[in-house]
Amino acid sequence: MNSLERVKAALHFDGPDKVPAWKPGSSDIYPMIMIPSQHWQPGHVEEEKGLFPHAYYDATISAGLWKWHEPQWVRNNPHYTNLNYMKTEREEIDPWGCFWNRTADYTSMGHPGRPCLTDWADLDEYLEKNTPDPLDLSQYSQFFIDTANTNAKNKYHLCILGLVNAGPFQMAANIRNFTQFLIDHRRHPKEVKKLLRHLTDWYIDNMKGWERSGASPHGFYIPDDLGTDNAPFFSPKVFKEFYEPVYKRIIDASHELGCEFHLHCCGKIDLLLPLLVEWGLDAIELDAPRMTGYTDLREFRGKIMFWGCLDIGSVYINATPEECEREVWHMIRNLGTSKGGFGAFFYPEPHVIRAPKENVKAFINGLKKYGVYEKIPSHWWKHPVSDNWDNYNVPDLPPLETIQ
C-alpha cells in the first residue's frame, strides 16, 4: 500500500498493511497549515502600536511564508528589526484580534493573554472587524499545495483548519478568555451560541477554501482541547446542547467534500466520545491515551480511528526504550483492531516535553516490530488486556505461542 491507501484503510477498518504513521519527516500524512493573509498587516494603526504579529507557527514568519511589513515603531528599534523581536518578551495579536503573551524564548508558542471581547454587546462589531476571510486564497500557501501534488501526491493530504491551531471551543475561549467563556455557557447561552454559529460557518468555508486552493484534501483536522486531566469541561448534556450544532455541521460538511474529519483533543474526554461518534467523527488524536484510559476507550474500538502517541505525561518521558517499544503493541491492541483503526502519532516537539531521543527511536522501532499486521500473531488479538493501568508500568507482551 502507498501512504494514502494505508491511512484510508486504517480509517475504514479495511485491513491496512501496517499501522500508518503521522510524524515529522517520513510520514504517511502530509499536513498543511494555513498562513495569515498577505493583506493582514498588524501594528500600523494607533490601537495596535506595540503589538507584534502572531501567526501561531513562528516558522511561518522566519521561513518567509508570510511577510510582515514592519511599521515605523519597529523599524526605529534595532532590538525589533530583522525578526529580533522574536527573541524578546512581547505581546502579539493574531488575525482574529486575539492577544498572546510571548516570552523571550524563540521556540515557545506562548499562551492567550487578555480577552479581546470583554462585553457581549460588542460581539457583532468585533466579528465584523476581526473575522478573517476564509476564502482569501493567499492564506493557503502555494508551497504546501505544490508539494502536496508532487512529492506528496501519494500521501494523505490533511488540511489543518484555522489560523491559530484552535477549534471552535478554543477559538471562542481565546476571544472571551477561557474561564469567562466557560461561565458564559450558563450566564450568556444565546451569545455563546451566536459566536459558535459564526465560527462554525467560518470553519466550513475554511474547508471550501482548502478545496478551492488546489490542495486536494483527503481529510480535515481541528485541535480542540475539551477537558482536564480528570474530566471534560462540560457534561455530555451541555456539550450536546452547545456543540452538536457545531461539530455535526462541520463533520457533515467535511463528508460532503469527500473527506474524513480528524479531531485532536487533550483531556479525559471519553464521556464526550459517544456524542462525537454519533455526529460522525472519523478519527480522534490523543497525545496522552493513558490519561483518558485504555479501559474507558475500549468501547470505541472499531467505531472510530485513534491516532495515539506514547503517552506524553508518563510513558514517553519516563519509560525505558524497551518499555516504549512494548507500549506500541499495547496501543495497537487497546485502541485498534486486527482490521485497522489505529495510527501512530509522533508528538511534533519531543524536546518540549523532554522525551528522550532513545524513546523516540524506540517508538519507531516498536512500529517496525509490532505494527505490520501480517506479522502479528493472531492469538495476540485475543490475549486478555489489563483493566488496571499503572501510568508508569508497561505490561509484558503476550506469549509468542498459544497455550494449549
Which pLDDT value is given to residue 110? Answer: 74
Provide the grid cell at 191. 451569545
Does 404 score more than 70 pLDDT? no
DSSP conformational letter for 137: G
Q: How far apart are CA 89 and CA 146, in angstroms?
A: 36
DSSP conformational letter for 299: G
Residue among 199, 211, 204 at smallest CA distance from 159: 211
What is the average pLDDT value for the chain, to the nearest integer? 95
Handedness of CA 173, 179, 184, 186 (dihedral sign): positive
Q: Which helix (H) or strand (E) holds 219?
A: strand 219-223
Per-residue pLDDT reduced to its tens digit, 312-352 = 999 999 999 999 999 999 999 999 999 999 999 999 989 88
Task: Indicate the class that CATH gives domain 3-35+117-381.
Answer: alpha beta
The helix/strand/coil state of 314 is: coil
- Which pairing describes strands 51-53 and 29-32: parallel, antiparallel, or unpaired? unpaired
Which pLDDT value is given to residue 403? Answer: 39
Kindly list the domain boundaries of the chain, sorted by start residue: 3-35+117-381, 46-112
Q: Which of 46-60, 233-247, 326-340 is least confident?
A: 46-60
Q: Which residue type occupies 404?
A: Q
DSSP string covering 97-111:
S-EEEE-S-TT---E
Q: What is the mean pLDDT of residues 151-172?
A: 96
The helix/strand/coil state of 306 is: strand
Q: Which residue type occupies 343?
A: G
The answer to whether the CB of 131 falls within 8 A of the CB of 201 is no
Q: What percent of the chain has pLDDT over 70?
A: 98
Residue among 166, 171, 186, 179 at smallest CA distance from 130: 171
Provide the grid cell at 194. 451566536
The answer to whether the CB of 92 falls within 8 A of the CB of 102 is yes
This model's pTM is above 0.85 = yes
Q: What is the mean pLDDT of residues 377-385?
A: 94
Q: What is the mean pLDDT of residues 50-76?
A: 93
DSSP-assigned beta bridge partners for residue 29: 156
Per-residue pLDDT reduced to its tens digit, 271-324 = 999 999 999 999 999 999 999 999 999 999 999 999 999 999 999 999 999 999
Handedness of CA 62, 64, 65, 71 (dihedral sign): positive
Q: What is the mean pLDDT of residues 124-141?
A: 97
Does 107 score more than 70 pLDDT? no
Does 108 score more than 70 pLDDT? no
Per-residue pLDDT reduced to its tens digit, 181-195 = 999 999 999 999 999
